[in-house]
Chains A and B, each alone.
Chain A
Amino acid sequence: NAGVTQTPKFRVLKTGQSMTLLCAQDMNHEYMYWYRQDPGMGLRLIHYSVGEGTTAKGEVPDGYNVSRLKKQNFLLGLESAAPSQTSVYFCASSSGLGEQFFGPGTRLTVL
């Protein structure tokens, strides 16, 4: 099992550009999450999904959109990137029983 994978691993954008981060899990988990991690801070929840076709806002959703068209995939989109979105993005999945399984992260820089 690959667990949770994320693509790309690194990306540099210019202000105003758009991009999509892909998260995939092979554990048949219903719940998936997107977090961002900034220096000196813990992870903050951006959006989450409790099943295929569902999404909901987390703590810091502004500037991001998500989609869960397939159970195994959870996409995070930035329509118009801003320097404040420079961060490391982590995807996680869970069966709902407590433990979350994390991907390796995507390091995004917005110039």
Chain B
Amino acid sequence: SQQGEEDPQALSIQEGENATMNCSYKTSINNLQWYRQNSGRGLVHLILIRSNEREKHSGRLRVTLDTSKKSSSLLITASRAADTASYFCARPLSGGYNKLIFGAGTRLAVHP
């Protein structure tokens, strides 16, 4: 399978704590994206990091990319109950046209 691996599969934390999710992949990429999915809803784009970037921030989100290790991480700082969702990394599928291949996701539960 070309799908990447995400870990952990599930993560349970208290409000205010930080949450870190990891994504690994096998082939070279030119970018990697992270998406959030609330229960029963569609995916929402969070952040895109390009292969020449090592770190990117967006609000309480920090994404890192290590192309030598073929891995990325998503850090959510000072988590809130509203951050409860599944988080997916996605990388371009071969053949262009912005096709994406998604990992299986990390289910994050943030408890008040």
Contacts and interface: CB of A to CB of B under 8 A. Distances in A.
B25 interface: no
Interface in A78-105: 90, 92, 94, 96-105
Nearest to A102: B42
Interface stretch (B61-69, B70-78, B98-106): B98-106
A61 interface: no
A98 to B, nearest CB: 5
B102 to A, nearest CB: 3
A92 B104 CA distance: 18
Contact of B97 (A35, A41, A48, A92): A48
Size range of the interface on B? 20 to 34
Interface in B2-17: 3
B33 interface: yes
B93 interface: yes
Interface string A30-62: 010101000011111100101000001011000
Given A42-B104, A104-B42, A99 B97 contact: no
Interface string A1-43: 0001000000000000000000000000001010100001111
B85 interface: no
A45 B42 contact: no
Contact of A43 (B33, B40, B43): B43
Interface of B: 3, 31, 33, 35, 40-45, 48, 88, 90, 93, 97-105
Interface of A: 4, 31, 33, 35, 40-45, 48, 50, 56, 58-59, 90, 92, 94, 96-105
